[in-house]
Each structure stands twice: as structure tokens, then as C-alpha cells.
Amino acid sequence: MTRILGLTLVVLLSACVANAAQVVTVQDVVDYRNNVWSDTSGVWFLVPKELSDDPCNWYEDHPPWHRGSNQDWGWTHNISARVPLDATGIVSATLTIMAWDVDSDEGEDNVIFVNSRYLGSLTGVDRDWQAVTFELPSPVLDELWRTSQLYVYMDIDQMLDPSFGYRVTLKNSTLKVRYNTTGTAPTAVPVYRFWSPVTSSHFYTTDEAERDGLIANYPGIWIYEGNAYNALLVAGSTTARPVHRFWSPTAGGHFYTIDEKEKSSIIATYPPSVWTYEGIAFYAYASGEQPSSTLPVHRFWSPLVSHHFYTMDEVEKDYILRNYPPEIWTYEGIAWYAFLP
């Protein structure tokens, strides 16, 4: 049975320069923090002695609590949010498991699998912690590069008779991945959002001077709503595409698109008095080309006020769909992918 352990911490550890490129190490620590006794979901570890009158509880074990033979379980490492944007591949990766009371000298065999592939067995001594580090093989590295995830499964006492099997306590599991990068990863910046009650339209900009000018000079016309999401100022070596910005003097609002055909069609079809092309607003990702660390930005069109609206907020998107009919706000799908603020 799969169980994701407690709190996941993802930390960018180091960047070692090699010529123009860099090797960047990303670390993911999955740490078991607590356990809830539940007759419906099951008991993952035996509770401490002070919480139970059961004489069979092995209260000597160091918390977090232990599991025994035939109580195998697994957890997931997910590093999708921290894969470098300019990563070109994985150099190497290690998995380190810290466990308590692994009596390997007495025949205890806690076997570790990753993505259903045999990795090796834990080693350790009676009543103490010991860390075991495994080098991930090439097939696993290929899968990790494609999915940015790693599923770890621990078969407790694989070969022993369950009637006298040993116990094991897991403290944490650490995945370290070394990525080759180009060294040209662009920096994500805030996309600031404004609302105008005068024109019933939204405005988005990455330009801090433009943001500050609207706040200072047009307080009754443009209301600052904060950071909508993060995007890129340049594409760098990523697959990011330009998001183009138009201004309509007729409608009194802006329009944004990542679609080159849509951009070209507007320029060819409408004179500047209807839609004026203002250039590239920022860079984001088209559907199907987005990195796993991005989220969709949804696009709405209002035939009532003749304006578009863009949001990454799923709650906001669902609220609009639930409360406004298409003649007020029509959902047009995913505009592009960007980063959480």
C-alpha cells in the first residue's frame, strides 16, 4: 500500500560551474512525522507504550513508530517543482534511507525497490539509526528525467517467516539528483494584475514602473490586485514562448495571447484603432510544452463587456464557471502555463 510520508522539503543545494554549463543538485527529503490510529484507514505503525495498554507494543523503538513483517509500504519523491528550467539531463542520483533497528547481521532483510525495480537491502544494527545510500541505475534515471518522480517501496523482512519477522522504523528518505544545465536559466518574475471598474477590464504587467505608475496616478481607475502568477522576461534555453499584448482604444482594454497565429490574424485583420500591437508582455509555456513545475492560466471572454480575463487561481476559475452564464463569462480554455507566485 502506498503512503506518502509527512512533510516534503525540496532544497536547491549547489551549483558547480563546469565551463559555461552547471551541474545543479536538487534534494528532496520525505520525512515521516506522525501517525493517526484509524480503524478505517489502518494503523501504519504501532503506537508508543504510553498511548496503548497492548503488551505487544514494542515501545523501545525510537519514534517515528515501527512496522513489522508483512506490513510493507511505500512513498513518493516528487521533484517536479524544482527541476532546473535549463536542465538538459540527469548526471546521477542517490537515494538515502535512514532507518532504526535494522538487524542485518541477524538476517533481517528489508528490501528496497524504486519504480518496481530492485535497488538493494537496508543494513544496520540493533537499536540504532543507520543510513544506507543507493546509487540509482540508468533505467531509473531515465524514468526520473521523464517524470520527475520516484516511487520507493520497502518490503520488510522479505524472506523471513512472518511469525517471527523483525521490525523497522523509517526516519526519512532523501533523494539527491544532479542535473546537467546550460547555466542560462531565466528568472521568473511577478505578473501584476489590475482591475478597472471604469472599463470593467483587467490589466497585467511585469513592468514594476508601469505598476507603480498606475497605482500612483490612477487609483480610481486601476485597482491593484497583486501578483497573478510568475512568468519569464526571456525564454533563455527553455521552451517558453512570447505572450503578446494588444491594446484596444475602442474597447478600452488589453488582450494577451501566446498563439502566434492568433497574434498574426489580429494584426492582419484589425487596424490599430481597433487593436494596437504593443509587443511581448512576458514569456510563458504553451499547452503540451510546459515544464512540470508550471500550472495552467485560464482564459475567459465576456461578450457583455468585450474583455478577456486570465487567472491561475482554480478557485476563482470554478467560481466564475459556477456563478456566471456564458453570456457574461465564456470559458475559452487554457491560455498558457506559468509559475505560482
- For 61-101, write each residue's pLDDT tens digit: 444 445 555 566 788 998 876 788 888 899 999 999 998 77
Q: What is the pLDDT of residue 274?
A: 95
Check pLDDT > 60 for residue 144: yes
C-alpha cell at 35: 501517525
Exposed e or buried b per residue across 104-137, where buried means at least 16 C-beta atoms within 10 angstroms of its C-beta: beeebbbbbbbbeeebbbbbbeeeeeeebebebe
Q: What is the pLDDT of residue 222?
A: 96
Q: What is the pLDDT of residue 82?
A: 77
- For 94-127, write each residue's pLDDT tens digit: 999 998 778 777 777 889 999 999 999 999 887 7
Q: What is the 3-state secondary structure of the chain?
A: CECCCCEEEEEEEEEEEECCEEEEEEEEEEECCCCCCCCCCCCCCCCCHHHCCCCCCCCCCCCCCCEECCCCEEEEEECHHHCCCCEEEEEEEEEEEEEECCCHHHCCCCEEEECCEEEEECCCCCCCEEEEEEECCHHHHHHHHHHCEEEEEEECCCCCCHHHCCEEEEEEEEEEEEEEECCCCCCEEEEEEEEECCCCEEEEECCHHHHHHHHHHCCCCCEEEEEEEEEECCCCCCCCEEEEEEEECCCCEEEEECCHHHHHHHHHHCCCCCCEEEEEEEEEECCCCCCCCCEEEEEEEECCCCEEEEECCHHHHHHHHHHCCCCCCEEEEEEEEEECC
Q: What is the pLDDT of residue 126?
A: 77
Percentage of the chain exceeding pLDDT 90? 55
Q: What number is the average pLDDT over the span 211-237?
A: 93
Q: What is the pLDDT of residue 109?
A: 82
Q: What is the pLDDT of residue 202?
A: 96
Lowest mean pLDDT of 54-58, 186-190, 240-244, name the range. Answer: 54-58
- For 228-272, write each residue's pLDDT tens digit: 999 999 887 678 999 999 999 988 899 999 999 999 999 999 999
Check pLDDT > 50 for residue 14: no
Of 225, 231, 223, the closest CA to residue 190 belongs to: 231
Q: What is the pLDDT of residue 128?
A: 78
Q: What is the pLDDT of residue 184?
A: 77
Check pLDDT > 90 for residue 168: no
Residue 18 and residue 278: Cα distance in Å, rounded?
A: 40
Q: What is the pLDDT of residue 4?
A: 34
| Averaged pLDDT score across all residues of the chain | 83
Q: Regarding predicted confidence, which is higher, 113 or 46?
A: 113
Residues 6+ apart with CB under 8 A from 179: 23, 24, 25, 26, 83, 84, 87, 88, 89, 90, 91
- For 270-319, write each residue's pLDDT tens digit: 999 999 999 999 999 999 888 878 999 999 999 999 999 999 999 999 99
